Structure formats: C-alpha cells, structure tokens
Amino acid sequence: MHKIGHNIAKAARQHCWRQHRQLSTWSPLGTAFNAPPTKRINFTRNDVGLFLMPELRNADGFHLLRENVENSTQELIAEAVSSERKRKMVDIFDELSDSLCKVADLAEFVRIAHPQNKYMQAAEQACISICGVVESLNTHKPLYQALSKVVCDGDLMPTTEVDRHVAKLFLFDFEQCGIHLPEKERLRVVRLNDYILQLGQKFMNGAAQPTVLPRSCVPEDIRDYFPTSGDNIIITGLCTNASNVKMREAAYRLYLQPSDSQEELLKDLLICRYELARSCGFETYAHRALNGSTMEKPELVREFIDELSEQLRPRADADFAVMTQMKRKESGQNTALVEIWDTPYFTSQLKRQSLEEQANEFLPYFPLGGCMEGLDNLLHALYGVRLQNTEMEPGESWHSDIYKLAVMHESEGLLGYIYCDFFERAGKPNQDCHFTIQGGKRLPDGSYQLPIVVVMLGLAQPRWTGPTLLSPARLDNLFHEMGHAMHSMLARTEYQHVTGTRCATDFAEVPSVLMEYFASDPRVLRTFARHFQTHKPISEDMLQRLCASKHLFAASETQLQVFYSALDQVYHGEAAEQGKSTTETLRDVQNRYYGLPYVDNTAWQLRFSHLVGYGAKYYAYLISKTIASWIWQTYFEANPFNRQAGEKYRAEILAHGGAVPSRKLVANFLQRDLTPRILADSLIHEIDMDESKIKELIVSRN
C-alpha cells in the first residue's frame, strides 16, 4: 500500500512539473534551474572522477595527486636552477604554481564542501601535504636566488612587461617568508608567521562565542529577553531588528562587553604583525599588506578615508536626524536620540513605512530559473556569452543537486565551466562564495587551459510545488558571486598566477560589486522579474520600491564602513607599537569617523573577526565599491546593455586579471588618475543621486 501511494505521489509531482513546463515561457536554462537538478541513475558508464579527474574516482586518488605534484615540483626546481635552462624563468614558476594550485585549490574546496567524510579527510591530508611542499619551497635558497637574479638582472630569454611584473609578484611572495634575510632573522619571521596564524584562529574563535553572564549580574527588567542555561543568561548576538528598544540596547551592551582574553589576543596579533613587517623591511604592517595593491600605500588610503569622511558627515548626520525623529515618534519621547544599536532597525522600518515594503512580497517574482535567465541575457548583451546547462558524467560532481554551466562565447567558443552548488544541505558551509578549481593560462602549444570554478550559495532546495525563490538580497548575492565567476571566465592571461580573481585584494571585488549595480537597475530587472506561477511581470511600483530600498540611509551606512576601514588602518599602522588598549584606539577613531558616539564599557572590535582575514585591507571593499560605482556611472548607467561598453570593459579590465597592476588598469580604463579626491567625489555623487531618487519616490507616494 505504501509503495502504491508513493508511486501516485511521484506521478503527481511529474505531472505538476510537466504542466508547469507546458505553461512556462522560461528558456531552457531558466527551466533547468527552476526544477530540482535531474539525478540520473547510471547503469552502464564508469565514474569519471570529480571534476572529470580520473584520479578522483575515489578518495584515495588524492594520494596519487599528492605524489604527482611532489615529483613535478622537484623536476621544475631542477629546471629553474639549471645553467642549461631553455625556458623563461616566469614560465617555470607559473607551471610550478599551477601544479600546486590545481591540487591545493581542489583539495581545499573538497575539504569543506564534499558530503562524504572519506573525501573530506583525504582532501585535508592533501592540503597538509601541499602546505609542506610550499614550506620547503619557501626555504629553497638556490630557487630563490635564481628567480631574484632574473628579476634584478633580466632573463636570458626575451621577456615582456607582463613577464617581468609576474616575476616580481613571485619574488614578493617568496620574500614574505623572509628567505632573503639572514638565517637568524628568517627563523624569526617563520616563528612570527606561525604565531600570527595561531593568534588569528584563537581570536576568531573567541569572537564567535556567546556572552554568558550569571542571572544576578543582569538587571531583572531585561533578563527575559535572552535564553538561559541554568543560572546563566546567554547573549548570542545583537538583536538589531528587535522592535523593543530596551532589548536592542541590552544586547549591544552585554554582547559587546570587554574581554581581557580577546584584548590580549588582539594586541598580540597586532604587535606580531608590526614586528613581522619591520623584519621584512616595511614601515608598518599596513605598508606590507598594501604593497602591489590598487591604492599602493596606506597614506593614500588614509587620504581617501579622510576625504570621504569629510563629505559624508553632513549627509550621515541628516540620516541620523531622520532616525531620531522616527525613534521619537515611535517611543513618544521628545528627547530620545538614535543610538548605535538602533540603525538597522530604523532602516527596516523606513522600508516598511515610506516604501510600504511587505515581508517577502518580492519573492514570487524572482524564481531561481528566472534570475539565471536574466543573468544569461545580460551576459549575452554585454559580452556575447551564453550560459549552457550541461549534463555531467557519472561521478563528476560531489552531490546530486549540482548544476554545470558551460560558458560559451558566440565567436570564441567554450570559455570555461562554472559548477553551481546553490542549495543548502547538512554539513555544507553557510556562506556565499566563489572557488577557483583550475585557473586559466596559455599552454606551450598555444591552446588555453580553461578555467573551472565553483559558485556556492545557501539557497533553499526547490520543491515539487515550485522553484526556489530569491529575496532581493539573495539576488544581489547571486549576481555578486557570478561576477567573480565571470571574471575568471572572461580573463585570458598568459599565467594562471594572475588569472581572473588572482589580483590585488582591493581590485578583486570590483567586477562582483559592479554586477550588483546591474541587479539593482530597473531596466535589467524588467527583463526577467515575473511571477513564477502567472508569469506576470513585476509592477512598476514594486520595481521602483525595490530598487529604492537598497539605497536607504546610504550615507550613514557608508560612514560606518569608513569607520571600520579607518580603525583597521590605525590598528595596523604605528598604533600597533604604542601602549594604548585597542578599546582606547576604537573610541578615538569612532569619535573622529562616525556620527554616533562610542558606548562606554563596550569593545565592539573584539568581535570584529575581519581583522584576521583582512588585516589592513578592510578598506578594500570600500575602494572596490567606489571604482565599481565610477565604472557604472561612466560606461553602463546610460545603457546597462551596451555591448560596446561591455567589450571595452572585458578587453581593458577583465581580460588581464592581475597581469597588469590594477591601479594602471583602472586609470587607463577611466582615463583619469585615481586620486583620493576623485574617488571620494565619485561615491558621494552616487549617494546624492540615490537620495534624490528616494525622496522623489516617497513624495510621489504621499
């Protein structure tokens, strides 16, 4: 009886999807992504191995990959140091880098994404093994000396400007471990690097821990706001969207209480980074981190931050004045002032009140298949590229719910592959990100090694009743991560070491942030935003409200990012060697760069885990946003489907990856120097234009 019922339900699901397809006007790509990925039972074909790698038909194949790369590494070292070398030094180093990255990048992805423990464990062992190979390379003096001689004196073979730039990048990477220093100092650098890694891991772990307080230490009137465990109260986050102001304030004050252990870890981390930078010949850690970046040196970052801060202050103050009026109206207290714990809440309130935004009202208009169809049409308009859903071979993917896209150019043919791991599942990391599995590069026979990437999202699984529906924020994330993927696909570099997203940190986010501008443009959204059941296009009113909602209080939000960036720069500058506590530094920086005051007896920075992964580089998102804004205003704002602009952008920006210094790339593309004043003016112009549009929309609705 159970089997009969199961078959009836299965037939009903199949009928539902067949009926949906008959009514559907989606393209084949849209139809594929609106349905669950097809799981085919394999009776005849042999497994081809993960990512079509025959070694990975089973987890033991990682051992073979490790052996192969260890052997090829020794052969390439011998070639590099040989007096009878027949190739350019940079060619040898890039092949060495390529062979290591193919295993390391693949293993790192499988380690965190594969659902089977045996694959995860084998991949982790491969990661450890490759780290060992890299560490041995970092101490190989003859190899370093051979590269250093070529960089300083020139190669025996003719080289291009790109060759010389990439060789310098390899040399700089080499010297990060102090190989150029006397042995005693080199060992000190190695110890500092190890200690910094340990401190960072401990700090990040501490930053994620809840605050646990005895009930007796928490005032009675706020105890019930938080969960309890025995005689303790547990505060796990900031409760930023709670409607109860006392709850918001209590969560802020309690969750961000100072921690002696976190303070010690952060101070030690900053001091060790400072000592490391000094040992390697840099004035501060910020100078070391910004070497080769778009902004080049911390002095220019500080000038940009100061310029932007000065122009933002009156605009952010106006935002806070609006929030204060909202708070007074809501609370009935004429003297109430907006506080730092209020800003996310009143941003949400303004969306609901002024723009009449209802929870989930946009969801039905953004089925995943429709969003992919819109993305495909946009890429075709700009670059002549199509995304083709491609059937995978048995054993090629790590889970049954993966899609594979072939990226096809109308004249160049196949550009590369994007594997789409879009849906949440047990054990999968809850993060949206882009992984490079294989970087593109020119091969000795003149052909091109095609890039292979994975885009990972955390979307809800599609159901037989309908497709996965995306919120506006999820739509932005999809376009953002696909922006990274297309940077990899559209790059055509000689060397994989600098392909696609392998470029300066403060430039790597430009293509992905630029894609968010397309995802926020009504003209682009009109091409695909339609109801998943009726196919009725989204109304003009909803469309305008959706786009406006993304820019509410943009000045105060940008000011917050300026404050974070300034704090990160100060921590990694001269302040690292001074005796102040990190909280004293925080108070000083907040008073200078943010419009809301520091809250006594809090230490927000002790939960700022980005200080570990983006030390001295937190400003990178702000700069990437600014450059993306400038590119948008110059080339795409007038027409987001402009093929001529798209081709120019690909040829002059995306195609080069990191093969050309990013500052030079952007300056040439925009035909202006990247001065701090010009950069700040560009972002302020955008904020003013968006504010004007929001006011017009709100007035028109009243």
Please, is 658 exposed, middle or buried when counting C-beta atoms within 10 Å of its C-beta (0-12, 13-18, 19+)? buried
The answer to whether 295 and 287 are in contact (CB under 8 A) is no
Provide the 10 A C-beta neighbour count for residue 160: 12
Look at the block and give the residue holding tokens 């019922």: 5
The answer to whether 666 and 294 are in contact (CB under 8 A) is yes
3-state secondary structure of 434: strand
Q: How many CA atoms lie within 13 A of 477 on its CB side?
A: 16
What is the Cα–Cα distance from 414 to 510, expressed in whole angstroms?
Answer: 24
Q: Which helix (H) or strand (E) holds 415?
A: strand 413-423
Provide the 10 A C-beta neighbour count for residue 32: 21
Given the residues 481, 494, 686, 691, select the one marked as catalytic: 481
CA distances from 628 to 166, 254, 511, 634, 636 (A): 25, 38, 7, 10, 11
Angle at 78 between CA 74 and CA 80, to 5 degrees: 115
Please, is 83 exposed, middle or buried when counting C-beta atoms within 10 Å of its C-beta (0-12, 13-18, 19+)? exposed
Please, is 40 exposed, middle or buried when counting C-beta atoms within 10 Å of its C-beta (0-12, 13-18, 19+)? exposed
Give the tokens for residue 59.
Answer: 């987890």
3-state secondary structure of 431: coil
Q: Are strands 228-229 and 211-214 parallel, antiparallel or unpaired?
A: unpaired
Q: Which amino acid is at 588?
A: D
Closest CA to 501 of 439, 412, 450: 439
Q: What is the CA radius of gyration of the chain?
A: 27
Please, is 609 exposed, middle or buried when counting C-beta atoms within 10 Å of its C-beta (0-12, 13-18, 19+)? middle
3-state secondary structure of 409: strand
Q: Are strands 385-389 and 228-229 parallel, antiparallel or unpaired?
A: unpaired
What is the Cα–Cα distance from 278 to 571, expressed in whole angstroms?
Answer: 15
Instruction: Give bridge partners of residue 233 from the DSSP assignment.
Output: 213, 228
What is the Cα–Cα distance from 362 to 465, expressed in whole angstroms?
Answer: 18
The answer to whether 65 and 126 are in contact (CB under 8 A) is yes
Give the tokens for residue 60.
Answer: 């033991």
Give the tokens for residue 657.
Answer: 């990856």
Instruction: Give bridge partners of residue 435 from the DSSP assignment.
Output: 454
The answer to whether 416 and 407 are in contact (CB under 8 A) is yes
What is the Cα–Cα distance from 680 to 283, expressed in whole angstroms?
Answer: 26
Clarify whether 481 is annotated catalytic.
yes
What is the Cα–Cα distance from 257 to 247, expressed in whole angstroms?
Answer: 15
What is the Cα–Cα distance from 178 to 281, expressed in whole angstroms?
Answer: 10
What is the Cα–Cα distance from 404 to 419, expressed in whole angstroms?
Answer: 4
Residues serving a catalytic function are 481
